[in-house]
């Protein structure tokens, strides 16, 4: 199917805006790449109804969350990191590596290979009767994955249209028993990087999809019925929405960092300044974590934490002397606000 010229033009506009945002974010002093990586991972998980607060995700990053969803989001961070690392070699081994990073800690028995049984979406657990979609038989998966990854490596197609089609085909193949949606959206990030659309950050395209998840699912269904236009439109619109939301987050984080800079009095080489930077990407910390990340002693880490408590940047959230946690409330609020904006329904959707 040949895409309408206006849709190709719109998708190319989305690619250019992604590149512009990527360049802007790459110039920031704040660790915005890490921040956006986590927001994209959380949003991609939320498309699958795996919701978690920014605080729980931050706790899961240091191994202290009781939330299963938060731990799954952290797995998605690992999948996104693998996708970016493997962007220059997009083949079936790269996809297996993304899935392994995503699921190894939660369901290690399904990683490292394609599914070996028939699966279906919707309907009952016993049979595909009344299923909304039945993916190809498991025997066809290896050849189909070789084919879609060959398509993903092409260099003669408009970037946004190519990644939208590759993503839809991946979801149609459904090569794993679980984790297909999140792995497929990690593939989107890998293709953005491979195609030179992004070079610095993980633009939270999944956050754009959250504004109309029903439309996204309808677009995948339309693709399976032979119409590629809706998924290209959905990915393009999601990119614009993600950029708008990401720029608000960028402004919020930059303002938080500026307030901390004005409120904290410390020598220019002090570990306090490095701690401020750490808190922007890891807003819940322990003394042990601070000491390890900054390469300082526990007393020096404790002193840096106390200075930021005195400046109002950090709040102690657990009592006692052992296993204490501190959190940067402003950063957590900004991250949760990003998620809330992403969840708002698009007008007309």
CA angle 95, 98, 103 (to 5 degrees): 125
pTM exceeds 0.75? yes
Tell me, what CATH number does 145's domain have? 1.10.3290.10
> Whole-number mean pLDDT of the chain?
93
Q: How many CB atoms lie within 10 A of CB 136?
A: 15
In which residue are the tokens 């339309």 written? 222
Instruction: For 326, list phi and psi in degrees, rounded to 5.
Output: -125, 150
- What pLDDT sits at residue 128? 81
pLDDT tens digit sequence for 201-216: 999 999 999 999 999 9
Specify the number of domains making up the chain: 1
In a domain, 112, yes or no: yes
In a domain, 311, yes or no: no
At 320, list the tokens.
């006692």
In a domain, 319, yes or no: no
In a domain, 78, yes or no: yes
Between 210 and 344, where is the model more confident? 210
**32-47 helix and 180-194 helix, angle to the nearest 10 degrees:** 140
The answer to whether residues 176 and 183 touch, using CB atoms and an 8 Å cutoff, is: yes
User: What does the pLDDT average to over 319-323?
Assistant: 70
Write out the H or E segment, with its range, that includes residue 262.
helix 229-263
pLDDT tens digit sequence for 40-98: 999 999 999 999 999 999 999 999 998 999 999 999 999 999 999 999 999 999 999 99
Burial class (CB in 10 A: 0-12, 13-18, 19+), 66: exposed
**Could you tell me the pLDDT band of residue 292, with boundaries at 50, 70 and 90?**
very high
Gap between the Cα atoms of 337 and 78, Å rounded: 23
pLDDT tens digit sequence for 67-77: 999 999 999 99
In a domain, 74, yes or no: yes
Residue percentage of the chain with pLDDT more than 70? 97
pLDDT greater than 70 at residue 347: no
The answer to whether residues 343 and 208 touch, using CB atoms and an 8 Å cutoff, is: no
In a domain, 178, yes or no: yes
At 240, list the tokens.
């614009």
Between 346 and 202, where is the model more confident? 202
Full domain range(s) for residue 220: 5-119+140-248
């Amino acid at each position: 199917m040949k895409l309408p010229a206006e849709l190709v033009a719109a998708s190319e506009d989305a690619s250019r805006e992604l590149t512009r945002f990527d360049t802007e974010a790459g110039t920031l002093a704040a660790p915005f790449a890490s921040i956006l990586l986590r927001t994209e991972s959380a949003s991609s998980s939320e498309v699958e109804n795996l919701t978690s607060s920014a605080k729980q995700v931050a706790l899961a990053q240091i191994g202290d969350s009781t939330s299963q969803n938060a731990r799954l989001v952290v797995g998605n961070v690992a999948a996104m990191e693998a996708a970016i690392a493997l962007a220059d070699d997009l083949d079936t081994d790269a996809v297996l590596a993304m899935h392994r990073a995503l699921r190894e800690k939660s369901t290690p028995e399904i990683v490292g290979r394609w599914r070996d049984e028939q699966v279906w979406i919707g309907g009952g657990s016993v049979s595909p009767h009344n299923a909304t979609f039945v993916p190809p038989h498991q025997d066809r998966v290896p050849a189909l994955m070789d084919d879609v990854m060959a398509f993903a490596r092409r260099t003669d197609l408009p970037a946004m249209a190519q990644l939208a089609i590759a993503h839809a085909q991946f979801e149609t193949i459904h090569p794993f028993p679980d984790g297909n949606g999140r792995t497929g959206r990690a593939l989107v990030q890998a293709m953005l990087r491979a195609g030179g659309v992004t070079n610095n950050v993980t633009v939270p395209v999944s956050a754009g999809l959250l504004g109309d998840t029903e439309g996204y699912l309808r677009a995948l269904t339309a693709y399976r019925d032979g119409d590629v236009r809706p998924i290209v439109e959905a990915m393009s619109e999601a990119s614009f929405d993600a950029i708008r939301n990401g720029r608000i987050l960028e402004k919020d984080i930059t303002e938080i960092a500026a307030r901390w800079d004005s409120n904290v009095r410390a020598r220019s080489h002090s570990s306090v300044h490095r701690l401020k930077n750490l808190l922007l990407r890891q807003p819940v910390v322990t003394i042990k974590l601070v000491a390890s990340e900054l390469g300082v002693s526990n007393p020096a880490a404790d002193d840096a934490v106390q200075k930021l408590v005195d400046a109002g940047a950090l709040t102690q959230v657990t009592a006692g002397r052992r296993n204490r946690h501190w959190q940067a409330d402003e950063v957590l609020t900004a991250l949760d606000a990003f998620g809330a904006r992403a969840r708002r329904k698009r007008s007309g959707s």
